Structure 1
Amino acid sequence: MAPDRISQEKSRLRKRLLHQRQSLSPQDWHHHSDRLWERLTRLPDFQRATTVLAYMSHRREPDLAGLFQHSHKIWGLPRCQGENLTWHHYQPGIDRLTPGQFGILEPDLDWQELTLEQVDLVLVPCVAGDRQGYRLGYGGGYYDRLFMDSAWRRIPRIGLLFHFALLERLPHHDWDIPLNGVCTEEATIMI
């Protein structure tokens, strides 16, 4: 498939799946989110990890609030800095987050920045994912740019999404870098 056709197909899928996710009732969203993070905590990569990079739910992404409260990890959250992400230490229930340039809650710039060497696991938000580890994001390329660095690719990367957004195969460009696994409320697929 030509690159333009791949981009068009990604855009079509993104629109459909975001609409489907936004259509979840608050009760279903919380229920699916809780089941997802409970499944995630049973993964060996999660159990071994000391420092985990995560995200704050936006646009009905799986909510990780319960995970933050019930898992004794060192947490890192992203902050958009130009076209890149920086990662900052987050203390659930203590640190106050503020909306960033996309309305996503972010750490303040002066919070302790985490280094690559400290990170054991990256939890990646996804609009969709497939059984080969490819992810569909929002199209901004933040995680793609992060994982272009081979040092970041050595850290396990698990995409989090609701099960309806787990597809057999996503369209992807040659430069797309697959994740090490995807986790939904119903299944975990490690690549």
Structure 2
Amino acid sequence: MLKKELRKSLLKKRRSMSEIEWREKSDRLCYHLQNFSLFQTAKTVLAYFSFRQEPDLSLLFTNTEEKNTFPPKNWGFPRCVEKSLVWHIWQPGNSLQKGAYGILEPESNAPLLKSSEVDLILVPAVACNVNNYRLGYGGGFYDRMLSQPEWSSKTTIGIVFEFAYLPDLPIDSWDKPLDFVCTENGIMNN
């Protein structure tokens, strides 16, 4: 199946989930992330705001009862600027705006985040496969970013629901595998 067809099919399946199923799966996914040692020790984490029933990570950054066993997090969220992602520091309570694609993002005057400050990247995806390759949304934002030297060494976790964790995906020459994949059933690495 071609990327475009697979993407359309999986997005349709994701949108067909009930609100309750989506919330439960998102919360279980967050539970696995919260208990993952690389997440626990990370000081600065790049994340995303859920859009069109992507797994919702808000439990991670709105949970005020963070365990004392790991440091509080600095959070980075992207703004889409032309063909690039610009990362800003964001904390609960900071203002948000809708960006070019209708996705919530920090305001343009929010403090910028440098790649050197980042410990972990939670990468949104339509699907991931057992070899940790990712099927994105077709814009190439993350592919371009993760191929740049300053980002390529950062630890990445693809975020998908279990139904989108597949044995195989169509792969292009520019696709790079992620380090891990997290679903509501746990964290997998290749």
Structure 1 and Structure 2 fold alike (TM over 0.5)? yes
- Asked if residue 50 in structure 1 is aligned to residue 43 in structure 2, the reply is yes
Structure with higher helix content: 1
Task: Indicate the SS of the match to 2:144.
Answer: helix
Question: Partners of 1:10 and 1:158 in 2: how far apart?
Answer: 21
Q: Does 1:83 align with 2:90?
A: no
Instruction: Tell me the alpha carbon deviations over residues 66-104 of structure 1, each in whole angstroms, 9 at most, x when there is no partner.
Output: 111225311000001110001001111x11211100000
Contact 2:116 2:150 in 1 (8 A): no
Task: Provide the C-alpha distance between the structure 1 equivalents of 2:95 and 2:57, rounded to a whole number of angstroms.
Answer: 16
Give 1:3's aligned residue. none
Q: Helix, strand or coil: the match of 1:21?
A: helix
1:47 offset after TM fit, Å? 1.2
The CA distance in 1 between the partners of 2:188 and 2:173, in whole Å, is: 22
Identity %: 47
- After the TM superposition, list the runs of 4 or more consecutive aligned residues in structure 1 that deviate by more than 3 angstroms: none
Shift of 1:183: 0.2
1:40 match: 33
Matching residue of 2:135: 136
Contact 2:96–2:105 (Cα < 8 Å) also in 1: yes
Instruction: Give how far 1:181 is off.
Output: 0.8
After superposition, the CA RMSD in angstroms is 1.0
Would you say the 8 A contact 2:25–2:55 is kept in 1?
A: yes
Report what 1:17 is aligned to.
10
Which whole-Å CA distance do the structure 2 matches of 1:96 and 1:23 have between them? 30
Match of residue 66, structure 1, among 59, 67, 70: 59
> Which amino acid in structure 1 is aligned with residue 74 of structure 2?
I
Query: 1:114 Cα shift?
Result: 0.3
Letter in 2 for 1:80: C
Q: Which residue of 2 aligns with 1:96?
A: 95
Inter-partner Cα distance in structure 2 for 1:99 and 1:11: 25
**8 Å Cα contact 1:163/1:187 also seen in 2:** no
Q: Equivalent residue of 1:28, what SS?
A: helix
For structure 1, list consecutive stretches of 5 or more residues without a partner in the other structure.
Answer: 1-7
d(CA) in 2 for partners of 1:91, 1:84: 22
On the 8 A contact 1:36/1:186 being kept in 2, the answer is yes
Q: TM-score, normalised by structure 2?
A: 0.94
Per the alignment, residue 145 of structure 1 pairs with 144
Kindly provide the amino acid, as one letter, of the partner of residue 17 in structure 2.
L
Aligned residues: 183
SS in 1 for 2:2: helix
The answer to which of 107-116 and 64-73 deviates more is 64-73
Q: Do the aligned residues in 1 keep the contact of 2:83 with 2:141 (CA within 8 Å)? A: yes
CA distance in 2, matches of 1:153, 1:48: 20
TM-score between the two structures when normalised by the length of structure 1: 0.93
Partner residue in 1 for 2:20? 27
CA shift at 1:107, angstroms? 0.6
